[in-house]
Amino acid sequence: MEKVIDENKQGTSLQLENKQDNNKKLFIESYGCQMNFSDSEIVASILSNEGYNTTTKLEEADLVLVNTCSIRDKAEQTVRKRLDQYNQVKKKNPGMKVGVLGCMAERLKAKFLEEEKIVDMVVGPDAYKDLPNLIKDVDEGRDAINVILSKEETYGDISPVRLQSNGVTAFVSITRGCDNMCTFCVVPFTRGRERSRDPQSILEEIKDLHDRGFKEVTLLGQNVDSYLWYGGGLKKDFDKATDMQKATAVDFSQLLEQCAVAFPKMRFRFSTSNPQDMHIEVIETIAKYDNICNYIHLPVQSGSTRVLEAMNRQHTREEYIALVDKIYELIPDISLSQDMIAGFPTETEEDHQDTLSLMEHVRYDFGFMFAYSERPGTLAARKLEDDIPEEVKKRRLTEIISVQNKISLERTKRFVGTTVEVLIEKTSKRSEDEWSGRNSQNTTTVFPKENYNVGDFVLVEITDCTSATLIGKAIGYSPMQA
């Protein structure tokens, strides 16, 4: 559950600029976390070179791909319903090919070809470069499946097409996989072990974005704090590296600093962090550079040390609080957000109260909160009985959300009467006459458009707020404006 899922983006079909000579149409739809949406950009780039232009019209597609998530049962059920809808279209267009990509493909593997007769191919997160061969297999009448997890694949040599981009913000993947075997999570089984991209390829991708006018980059990974480049290979094999490889290795704080120094007029964020892997050097680097945003997504899952141990989280309540206190000491203006699970197996009322009291101490600006959902294949599903009644899970989740909403409003109010820097991203949802962007702390900010444009860095005087949105008036450009 280390992945932030934006419910507003689920099921988005993606479109990019057409190549004139391409004559086949690709419909690609994404579910789950930002890693899946980023992977869809990689897939679109690969298939663009195979003669496919994207379309948002399912009925005209030659190839339909759905990039899937396994983090919660709800996500998998949504995909199954979509496959039923694809099936109705395929009856009218029997030449249409359908493939399932991503984590759900990796989890179910060949069962997908057996259960979902509509599916022609199943492609895991490390096999996207094999798509041209898999499509050829389908064309020749064979079922196609590649769910082999790689020890090396990072797609560092693929320049992703930016799908439905606002031209201002972009995601750049720096790691793939996860070594943290949290008992509730399928990610290590669907995305494999941790490996990092060559920092040079990351900087080159950011330079390309910079040259095309992008203003903000989010460095992306299942666990960015574990980033470690020593020439390639799995992070767990670092102890076998040569002395030279160890001496020249690049960790996350160093990568973050390289990005901030190389592109001083771009803003940088990162997601997701894991508490036990966040070192003091990362916090010091954030504090040192104004163009690294004062925001950290720091999933905790529970406020109870006993439950954290059952989850196989590699930190205690006390260690997490000590980390948060150090972050606030070095970056007083930081915003933090959380992931929280209500009703994990064996959770008692005392454990639940520990979670609520932790939230009061940390003062998260916002959070992503879920009732526990048993995921097949995880250690929890194999070893722990899902023994908390649904009504208890729902009640505890409601209480967690209530506490978070109260704190969110209090945290957002701290900006009223201050001036914040905002990167304009789009027109506000609430008014055509207002811009919308985010401040360094990741809080949405709206203000009158006046003569400013998308992509401008502006200073906004905050006059009012809701629990999630700042309201104000621009008073000029910020020093970040090139």
- Which residues line the annotated binding site for [4Fe-4S] cluster? 33, 69, 103, 178, 182, 185
Q: Which residue has the tokens 């496919």?
A: 52
- Measured CA distances, 480 to 219, 257, 290, 427, 461 (Å): 19, 17, 9, 21, 16
What is the 3-class SS of 406-417, one letter each residue? Answer: HHHHHHHHCCCC
Pairing of strands 216-220, 169-173: parallel
**166 CB neighbour count, 10 Å cutoff:** 14
> How far is residue 141's CA from residue 433's CA, in Å, rounded to a whole number?
54
> How far is residue 445's CA from residue 439's CA, in Å, rounded to a whole number?
7
In a 13 Å sphere around the CA of 150, the CA atoms on its Cβ side amount to 19
Amino acid letter, 268: F
> How far is residue 73's CA from residue 302's CA, in Å, rounded to a whole number?
20
Selection from 349, 34, 314, 35 nearest residue 183 by Cα: 314
User: Angle at the Cα of 304 (from 300 to 307), degrees rounded to 5?
Assistant: 85
Given a contact cutoff of 8 angstroms between Cβ atoms, the answer to whether 239 and 53 are in contact is no
Annotated binding site: 33, 69, 103, 178, 182, 185
Q: What is the DSSP letter of 150?
A: P
Distance in Å from the first CA to the final CA of the chain: 38
Given a contact cutoff of 8 angstroms between Cβ atoms, the answer to whether 150 and 126 are in contact is yes
Tokens of 447: 């203000």
- CA 305 remoteness from chain centre: 26
Task: Answer left, alpha or beta for residue 232, where phi above 0 means left and psi between -120 and 50 means alpha.
Answer: left
